[in-house]
Chains A and B, each alone.
Chain A
């Protein structure tokens, strides 16, 4: 059974969906409990008269990445989706994400981390697949599940770990916490606790990029923004408002839905009238694409297209990545509502093992090379923990810092100091 990655159609007429391959996918009846519909038996659903609209194209059989790609392309090195270097880079990034999150769980249970911690295990393919294609100047906006987005974008593991420990060496000096990872150097725009909050912010970043190119005449400014958010967010008003404006103004943004099917204990199917999120893109005039988010290579292919579109000025894209989180919503979530069969099903589709398998079968890497990467990542994460442990707690005076960029309100003078500190200030000779 072939499962083709969904393709884009260039250019996109307003009313069509992205060209999806004609579905050979089995029609899944949402009423029957399939392996992933964990709570369907408790599903209070009003029967649709025209149930053809629910064509949930989740595969019912596990198809390994390599089988699928063999079907697509002839097996010769030059036609593979990635080179060896790229493969190693992707692998390293995903292993870093996984090892880091596992260490977070350990540290949380030892009391070094506290509050709300949301882990990304299982979704690494989405973060790696998209963010590794971005430049440093491109922006990423995320949600509370943002550790791995920050790591993929280039924030050091030490900085993220210290931030989680609440130490002053963290990327936000300990003032933000797990859910608020910001880095202006790496253009990570956070880190938002409220779902849907990051989407308008990301849209604004994309707007800035377009503005700089057209109004400020920085002709080479082709920065792209990628906004990550979940399935629950796709019911929120802010999401729709931003889809509209991004398409209206052709902003260089990619909206990436990490559809892991669950919002804490609320199944996506119980919360959404039409669960196929990619369809919401064409309603606003942008292509909507669905991709298997457990397969980093497929995500990367789709990402290349979407980011390329945005960079060329062709406007936004909505990408729905079907993915899954192996752990609960947060470390405080006992995760009792999800069907163990569903979890087991997705565990077999672990993105890291899938990539490993692909690279072995195509003779891209050898076992020792991957082992070396894993060892290196373990050391990086251990070192990050040590660094965070040894870092100092914030000083008392830090409580009141950073509330304003300009605390006194009179602005910053040409010498770079606050005007109100200028001795001539009160005489009126310091120019305000």
Chain B
């Protein structure tokens, strides 16, 4: 357990356990008594995903990967590197460019007990298959009254990359997050990526796993527990990345990195921000968010996607419904611009939240839009 505390990026230094969150380990408790050196290894998100897929495929022969360029090309973003050589073409399938077709095929396989992992080259292409994701996968357990469960994982990069234009940059967290029957996960760090992907593959329900292309190459420290092959993170639990007491900032995926940087800047100005990495959009961890808002009394939600009907809107409603009396300021929502993503580089920067936008929103929530003179 000591290893966990040392690893956390924590301003307050309080332990993981007191923040109301618990990480479930699926291993026996005996191994929890081992002490680990803190942050011994670094791992990129890409390697984390690759290792998670590798381990799950070796553990369960029913797991297979299907998608465009996942085999010989080693994955469009190299996430499935080496898997074709290891598991062969029957388990790592290169498909023609037919999202609707191969998604439907995956769902059908899942109906009959296999555990497909369907890769979309980006989630923008999932729109070609959205009928299967929603109608065949998400609603089946309900429509069949529990007879048919669909243990499928849809994964791929989501959200804006760099300069790829309007049709390649949309964030689908809100769309999929509004659908009952789906579980929607958004990892940030390598540990998130590993733990959540392994949990998703083992989960008996359809899971939409939204990665981020710009995070693939980023390295994060990873503990030895996370490298264990039975490591799993719980679905539906958020993580408090940084403890604070003045304002709560919720974020997911790449925006967690930006929120953490914003928290550093705010700390220098005397505002202690608590950063929550949502990890799971559906089910949304309302209890962690509300507990945090009851502590800090102010909330800033950050997301990359379009503002209307977005994740931030849902979080705001949840807080208003459950913790209205605790709010000292209106909820601030930082989201992408309400336009299709432009191509020109300067316009694109304006269309996606930047660290300064989060800092400004947090200051507005703290009624500090004009910087105060240096306090004591």
Q: Which residues of A contact B (CB under 8 A)?
A: 39, 42, 44, 114-116, 163, 166-168, 172, 174-180, 192-196, 232-233, 235-237, 263-266, 270-272, 337, 393-394, 396, 398-400, 403
Contacts and interface: CB of A to CB of B under 8 A. Distances in A.
A127 B167 CA distance: 24
Interface string B75-104: 010000000000001000011111011000
Contacts, number: 122
Contact of B167 (A42, A193, A236): A193
Interface residues of chain A: helix, strand, loop or mixed (majority): loop
B343 A166 contact: yes
Contact of A398 (B100, B165, B347): B347
Contact of B340 (A237, A393, A403): A403
Interface stretch (B22-30, B65-73, B133-141, B357-365): B65-73
A195 B343 contact: no
B97 A195 contact: yes
Interface residues of chain B: helix, strand, loop or mixed (majority): loop
A42 B72 contact: yes
Q: What 3 A-B pairs have minimum CB-CB distances, sorted nearest first?
A: A115-B163, A177-B343, A265-B73
Interface string B101-128: 1000000000000000000000011001
A264 B343 contact: no
Given A166-B344, A175-B342, A266-B69, A400 B337 contact: yes
B168 interface: yes
26 contacts: A115-B165, A115-B343, A116-B165, A172-B343, A176-B165, A176-B166, A192-B167, A193-B167, A194-B125, A194-B167, A195-B97, A235-B96, A237-B98, A265-B69, A266-B72, A271-B97, A337-B73, A393-B346, A394-B344, A394-B346, A396-B350, A398-B347, A399-B342, A399-B351, A400-B338, A403-B340
Contacts of B343: 115, 163, 166, 172, 174-178, 180
B68 A399 contact: no
B93 to A, nearest CB: 10
Contacts of B370: none
Contacts of A116: 163-165, 168
B96 A272 contact: yes
Interface in B159-195: 161-168
Query: Looking at chain B, what size class is its interface with the partner chain?
Result: 35 or more
Contacts of B344: 166-168, 174-175, 393-394
A266 B68 contact: yes
A236 B103 CA distance: 13
Nearest to A114: B163
Given A195-B97, A265-B69, A394 B163 contact: no
A174 B128 CA distance: 26
Contacts of A178: 165, 343
A399 B347 contact: yes
Nearest to B339: A403
Given A42-B72, A174-B342, A394-B347, A232 B96 contact: yes
A150 B141 CA distance: 48
A177 B347 CA distance: 12
B163 A233 contact: no
Given A193-B167, A237-B101, A394-B346, A264 B76 contact: yes
